[in-house]
Chains A and B, each alone.
Chain A
Amino acid sequence: MIEIREGGIASTVQDLGRTGHYHIGMPPSGAMDEYAHTVANYLVGNDGDAATVEMTYQGITATFDDDAVIAITGADMSPELNGDPIGTWETVAVDAGDELDVQFATDGARAYLAVAGGVDVPEVMGSRSTYTLVGIGGHEGRGLEAGDELPIGDPANGSADLVGTRLPAEYVPDYADEDTVRIVVGLTSYRLTDEARETLCSAEWTVSAEADRVGYRLEGPDLEFEERDQPFGAGTDPSNVVDLGYPIGSIQVPQQPIVLMQDAVTGGGYATVGTVISADRGLLAQRQTHKTVSFESVDVEEAIDARRRRSERLAEIRSVIDG
């Protein structure tokens, strides 16, 4: 059992998401940075889809009522165990009664706490991920608060042997440097003027304070739409199209761009002018408010290739950790 003493500003239980229900308007939720989440699990001997605690900007303070094996990855939040600093991207032993204090993010925005056996909250529609807008999954469908108790599942055999394992530096991202996010331009990018399509991929966009698990609102130059008589079914604003499903990662432009993330609105009538590729969504999720990002246009082949390479890299990490 993990007892939460302080919940931080937005800490939720997440796994790899509630897939397969998008058509009924249910986004997948799940870890915003799948790479950091998955590596945290590997470090404690879990499968990648075990549930972790995702902490945003500020970490949790928690005590363990039993011995445990943990790993913290993602944003650097200077974690401490009983007041002593502990490593990140590293397997750490926790003794019964220990207090873990995860502080504010200095690099990146989201950190992941994995525990051997996984956070064992009940599955809802096949996932332990929290979807706070509807209030399902995770711990009571909401962010963690003081007094919450999180059950821990049965650890895999040998998880204690992983204590002291450090992820080799070549696999540890430096979030401060990751300011380019690849996108596939479309589906309704034809609505933009030629100049605006050019601007989308050349401008420096700033992550606003309105950037959460649903979407990241960006600030930058105005993007103009082609003049047209709006078709039947589309709203009157030039940014409106006839309703369509919004891909996760899609960039809509109500005025300034919004990139939809894991708790995405699943459809609507804004033109989606591009989609952040799945391999890079986690990098955007680690960009702090007021940091900048640029979009680099790639084609679908490159996006699929990037996804495949990321899977191979995770498989490689698993074999490095398991020795």
Chain B
Amino acid sequence: MSQTTTVNSPMPGVFYRRSDPEEAPFVEPGDSVEAGDTIGLVEVMKNFHEIEADQAGTVGEFHVEDESEIEADQAIVEIEVE
């Protein structure tokens, strides 16, 4: 049985999938993640807050584009939990 969990942004800001424009994304759909792995960053007030997977599983669909503006509680990515 697998089920899906949605990771939401805890705060408003700009969402980034990579730590630097030159770097590869933290995760791609299909990657395995552990709870606590960084899946993206939200920038607000010149601070970067790491968004972490809340459970172990497989990264599913991203609901927001890299470098897009997001609201607090907006859905960011699905994680398929084993």
Contact = CB atoms under 8 A, between A and B. Distances in A.
Interface of A: 9-10, 56-58, 103-106, 209-213, 288-291
A106 B11 CA distance: 8
* Chain B interface residue number, banded: 10 to 19
Contacts of A290: 12, 69, 71
Interface string B42-82: 01111101000000000000000000010110000000000
Given A57-B44, A106-B72, A289 B49 contact: no
Contacts of A211: 44-45
A86 to B, nearest CB: 20
B11 A10 contact: no
Contacts, number: 50
A211 to B, nearest CB: 6
Given A209-B69, A290-B69, A290-B71, A104 B46 contact: no
B40 interface: no
A58 B45 contact: no
A289 B10 contact: no
**Chain A contact residues: helix, strand, loop or mixed:** loop
Q: Which of B11, B12, B45, B69 has the most CB of A within 10 A?
A: B45
Given A104-B72, A106-B72, A289 B13 contact: yes
A104 B10 contact: yes
17 contacts: A9-B44, A9-B47, A9-B49, A10-B47, A56-B45, A57-B10, A57-B11, A103-B10, A104-B11, A104-B72, A209-B13, A209-B14, A210-B46, A211-B44, A212-B46, A288-B11, A289-B44
A290 B72 CA distance: 10
Nearest to B48: A9
Contact of B45 (A103, A106, A210, A291): A210
Report the 3 A-B pairs with minimum CB-CB distance, sorted nearest first. A212-B45, A104-B10, A289-B12
A106 B72 CA distance: 8
Given A209-B14, A211-B44, A289-B12, 19 more contacts: A9-B45, A9-B49, A10-B45, A58-B10, A58-B49, A103-B10, A106-B72, A209-B13, A209-B44, A209-B45, A210-B45, A211-B45, A212-B45, A212-B46, A212-B47, A288-B11, A288-B72, A289-B45, A290-B12
